[in-house]
Each structure stands twice: as C-alpha cells, then as structure tokens.
C-alpha cells in the first residue's frame, strides 16, 4: 500500500481563490510527522508547512494551513488567496516514528500540479 497518496494529479484555481490539495497517509505509528513542499518548474523544493501527529492545533504558515484529520489519516494543504506564483508542483511527505526506524527519512507522494489562473 502507498504510504502517501495524492489523488489529484492536477488542479486549477482562480487567482485570489482558496484551494485544497489532498493528502492521505498510511502508517501504524503513533508518532509521525507530515510535511508539504512546493516545487516550482525550476526544480528546487521549498518547505511550506509541518504537522506533528501529536500537535493538537492544525499548523498554519501565512497563507498555508494544514487540515489535519488524524482519524481519517488525511493532511490536506489549504492555500488561501491564491497567487500566480503559487503555480507549482506540491508534494506531501511523511516521516514515521524514529523508534521504529522510520524517523530519519521522508516518504513522498506523487504530487499535485497546481495552476493558478487569472
């Protein structure tokens, strides 16, 4: 089974609108972390936001927020007030429990290509 699933290969959103990028994960660990990265066409990976499994509040960073639903094993990224510069590939990634040997690496999903339109 895929550890990280991003079911939306591509998404379109109009400028200034909000958009939600889906991410579901699969782990039996109690302690884990979820990351979102942005990859523009130039290729570099830009860290956006992090959510720990024990964090009670949903993470927020500026226009980015993470809708963390632990029981559903989902960690959707919400981008508010989309801008043209948000057009990029977005990756969800998971770090599992270090005590079970998974804590020192990330597993990435296949990504969602977001296109922001005027």
Interface residues toward other proteins, by CB under 8 A:
4, 9, 33, 35, 37, 42-47, 50, 52, 91, 93, 95, 98, 103-106, 108-111
Question: Shortest Cβ distance from residue 32 to other proteins (Å)?
Answer: 10
Residue labelled with tokens 């632990």: 70
**Separation in Å, CA 116 to CA 23, 64, 72, 85, 87:** 19, 15, 28, 8, 5
Query: Closer CB to other proteins, residue 68 or residue 91?
Result: 91
Query: Closer CB to other proteins, residue 58 or residue 113?
Result: 113
Q: What would the two tokens of residue 32 be?
A: 């884990």
């Amino acid at each position: 089974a895929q550890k990280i699933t991003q079911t939306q290969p591509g998404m379109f959103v109009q400028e200034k609108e909000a958009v939600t990028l889906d991410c579901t994960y699969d782990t039996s660990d109690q302690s884990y972390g979820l990351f979102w990265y942005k990859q523009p066409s130039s290729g570099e990976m830009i860290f956006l936001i992090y959510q720990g499994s024990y964090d009670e509040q949903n993470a927020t960073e500026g226009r980015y927020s993470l809708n963390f639903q632990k029981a559903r094993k989902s960690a959707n990224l919400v981008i508010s007030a989309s801008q043209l510069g948000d057009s990029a590939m977005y990756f969800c990634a998971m770090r599992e429990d270090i005590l079970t040997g998974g804590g020192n690496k990330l597993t990435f999903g296949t990504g969602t290509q977001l296109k922001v339109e005027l």
